[in-house]
A = this chain, B = another copy of it.
Amino acid sequence: MATRLTIGRAAEAAGCKVQTIRYYEQIGLLRRPPRSEGNQRLFAQEDIRRLAFIRHARALGFPLQAIRDLLSLGDEPEQSCEAADAIAKAQLGDVEQRIEYLQALRRELKRMVEQCRGGRIADCRVIEVLSDHAPCEMFNHAVPRSGVGSP
């Protein structure tokens, strides 16, 4: 029951473009999958899961290098625990800062939507509220240049 998928189905499953998958293969994030008689890629379920993981992590703004690090945790389960621990902890700290910031953003957006019920926007404090994190270095690795928005 080796239900292998062609690249189009894989892309559909992961919610990304076909070219993105080929790109990930090219830069070594995904293995080079076996090919059909006619030279078409055939992806196993494991490939699809790995791809889905990459897409989710990208959607959250993790750069490919951080994703490479996270993936290495699963790829080399026999590597020293300290190394894995360091990667996981760094990502965890990053994730917690993101959550905190997003919760502040959510509070303010909710407040605005509430206020809107009453007619006009009196005072929009989105910027004030969300820019005042002065000493928070935020993330250690840079934000995706190209839209990490939504795939």
Binding site for B on A (CB under 8 A): 13, 15, 48-53, 55-63, 66, 70-71, 73-74, 77-81, 84-85, 88-89, 91-92, 94-96, 98-99, 101-103, 105-106, 109-110, 112-113, 116, 119-128, 130-134, 137-151
Copies of this chain, complex-wide, total 2
CB distance from A109 to the nearest CB of B (A): 4
Decide yes or no: A147 and B142 within 8 Å by CB, A92-B109, A113-B85, A131-B52 being known contacts.
yes
Interface of A is mostly: helix
Q: For residue A98, which residues in chain B have a CB less than 8 angstroms away from its CB? A: 59-60, 98, 102
Decide yes or no: A132 and B61 within 8 Å by CB, A126-B70, A140-B150 being known contacts.
no
